[in-house]
Amino acid sequence: SLGQNFLVDEDLARWIADQVEPDGAPLVIEAGPGLRALTQHLEDRPKHLLLVEKDRELVATLREHYLDEPGVTVLEADATRFDLRPWYAYGEVGFIGNLPYSVGGEILRHVLTPPTPVRRAVFMLQKEVCQRLAAVPGAAGCGALSALVQVDWEVEMLRVVPPEVFRPRPKVDSAVVRLTPRDPASLPVFDRRVFDRLVRVGFGQRRKQLKNLLPPGPDTWEAAAAAVGLLVTARAEELSLLQWVALARWYEGRGATPDEGQSGEERFDVVDEWDAVIGQETRAQVHATGLRHRAVHLLIWNGRGEVFLQQRSHLKDVAPLKWDSSAAGHLDAGETYAQAAVRELREEAGIAVETTERVLKIPASAATGHEFVELHQVKTSGRIHWPPEEVRTGEWFLPEQLDDWIERRPSDFAGGFITCWKAWRQAGSPMPSL
């Protein structure tokens, strides 16, 4: 049941280990190390090696073997669900595994679906699954998996591996695949939930035409097909990745308008050193001349004591792709901090509340970019839903995980968040009562 086909070809094992480029890497995670076929070729190469194994007896042997190796951590865990969050603090994470066939797909989904700290993945799986992963959407052999994975990753099929190199021998060929992150700017932004649903439904009955499968959209299917450049009779396997994305955007009502970051024309209140309003200026002017202005940051908490962090979109003019408070933004001209907190919560997290809890205020200084900042917080049991032009992805973190990550890699975060987080800690880590 644990898919234990052990690799017995030393040269191949060494070659696979090399493909994750382990030398000097901050962290490599191996799923299912088993009898160390790959692991022995990873030893002493990355700064840290994390071995995630489910079989208790194998874990005991691995622990004994690596007893005196501080750079190796053996985790007895299920690789389909182990906690990835502590490993953001290590930076660019490599992932490797000769994966058990039975749950290989689930392990990949867990490790590769954003958000993830993994930046390079090399794994062995059934040849058919690897071919599906690598097949170009719109070309022969593609499936839902091709589109769902390639929207985030560049997939390279590295080589096919025959059953003879395993004990016991599996019944089918295997293959080795490498994944590296796709440049987020290579696709227009789109709502991930809409995209996933369309792809899954579209490939659910792959012989049927999409017009008979997909949910109703903002206009007729003929209009959708024209907007995306499809025949009205198109089936799922005929769509390129860009067409799937265009279709998701059409369902969202975006049309063909290009993505925009913030506009420099928004107007903010300009304030004096006591935070009293003394005028108004455009966003561009405020930032170019360092005028004092106002902003709110929000921490959203769940019932497990975890706080939501957003990763900023690549379209942001300031701190693109950095991790940031749950939601944050400038006050509009004439707005109060409390009003801005409620508005940002709705706009950036899809959460509707009447009030938020004010936690503290940080005076304007060069460190805050000349902003007076109020930190607010709320507790929610709902799901967060973000606009993709503002937010790339998001994740719930335990406070201790963030402390560790901020300490090790402050450059992963927007400066304003670090200031707020440290102030929240100094204030005694107050949790929201709302």
Stretch that binds ligand SAM, among 32-40, 286-294, 322-330, 414-422 (CB under 6 A): 32-40
Using rule CB under 6 A, residue 52 touches ligand SAM: yes
Site membership for ligand SAM, residue 380 (CB under 6 A): no
Q: Which stretch binds ligand SAM (CB under 6 A): 31-39, 60-68, 175-183, 405-413?
A: 31-39
Is residue 173 part of the contact set for ligand SAM (CB under 6 A)?
A: no
Exactly one of 20, 51, 89, 103 binds ligand SAM (CB under 6 A); which one?
103
Nearer to ligand SAM, 74 or 241 (CB): 74
To ligand SAM, the closest distance from the beta carbon of 393 in angstroms equals 24
Dihedral angle, C-alpha 240, 243, 245, 246, nearest 10 °: 170
Shortest-Cβ-distance residue relative to ligand SAM? 32
The answer to whether 121 contacts ligand SAM (rule: CB under 6 A) is no
What phi and psi, each to the nearest 5 degrees, are found at residue 372? -80, 130
3-state secondary structure of 116: coil
Check residue 329 for interaction with ligand SAM (CB under 6 A): no
d(CA 257, CA 186): 16
Based on the shown chain and the rule CB under 6 A, indicate whether residue 54 belongs to the binding site for ligand SAM.
yes
Quick one: which of 178, 119, 117, 113 has its CA closest to 148?
A: 113
Q: Does 79 bind ligand SAM (CB under 6 A)?
A: yes
Output Rg (C-alpha) for the chain, integer angstroms: 24
**Which position among 22, 33, 117, 394 is part of the footprint of ligand SAM (CB under 6 A)?**
33
As given in the structure block, the two tokens for residue 431 are 């949790």
Residue whose entry in the numeric block shows the structure tokens 């300009």: 270
Q: Which is nearer to ligand SAM, 54 or 292 (CB)?
A: 54
Beta strand extents in 232-330 (DSSP E only): 267-271, 277-282, 293-301, 307-312, 323-324, 327-330
In the bound state with ligand SAM, the residue whose beta carbon lies nearer, of 78 and 335, is 78
Tell me which of 98, 131, 356, 419 binds ligand SAM, using CB under 6 A.
98
**How far, in Å, CA of 260 to CA of 254, rounded?**
12
Among 80, 146, 243, 313, binds ligand SAM (CB under 6 A): 80
Nearest to 78 by CA among 111, 113, 45, 39: 111
Q: Which of 22, 26, 34, 117 binds ligand SAM (CB under 6 A)?
A: 34
Only segment of 26-34, 197-205, 232-240, 411-419 that touches ligand SAM (CB under 6 A): 26-34
Sorted by sequence, the CB contacts under 8 Å of residue 288 that are 6+ apart come out as none
CB 36 within 8 A of CB 13: no
Backbone phi and psi for residue 373, each to the nearest 5 degrees, phi listed first? -120, 125
Q: What are phi and psi of 365, to 5 degrees?
A: -160, 175
Q: b/e per residue, 281-307, with b = 16+ CB within 10 A?
A: bebeebbeeebbbbbbbbbbbeeeebb
Q: Which stretch binds ligand SAM (CB under 6 A): 61-69, 96-104, 174-182, 224-232?
A: 96-104
Assess 31 for contact with ligand SAM (CB under 6 A): yes
125 binds ligand SAM (CB under 6 A): no
Question: Restricting to residues 259-318, which ones interact with ligand SAM according to CB under 6 A?
Answer: none
100 makes contact with ligand SAM (CB under 6 A): yes
Q: Could you tell me if residue 321 is left (phi over 0), alpha (psi between -120 and 50 degrees) or otherwise beta? A: left
By CB under 6 A, which span of 46-54, 143-151, 278-286, 372-380 interacts with ligand SAM?
Answer: 46-54
Q: Within a 10 A sphere around the Cβ of 153, how many other Cβ atoms?
A: 21
Q: In whole angstroms, what separates CA 110 from the centre of its chain?
A: 11
Answer yes or no whether residue 42 interacts with ligand SAM by CB under 6 A.
Answer: no
CA distance 134 to 111: 17
Q: Which of 21, 55, 252, 347 binds ligand SAM (CB under 6 A)?
A: 55
Among residues 5, 131, 311, 380, the one that binds ligand SAM under rule CB under 6 A: 5
12 binds ligand SAM (CB under 6 A): no
Smallest separation (angstroms) from ligand SAM to the CB of 126? 11
Helix or strand holding residue 343 (H, E): helix 337-349
For residue 334, how many other CB atoms are within 10 A of its CB? 10
Using the contact rule CB under 6 A, the part of the chain among 54-62, 85-93, 151-159, 171-179 near ligand SAM is 54-62
Q: Does 26 bind ligand SAM (CB under 6 A)?
A: no
What's at 201, amino acid-wise? V
What number of CA atoms fall less than 13 Å from residue 397's CA on the CB side? Answer: 27
Residues forming the site for ligand SAM (CB under 6 A):
2-7, 31-35, 37-38, 52-55, 58, 78-80, 98, 100, 103
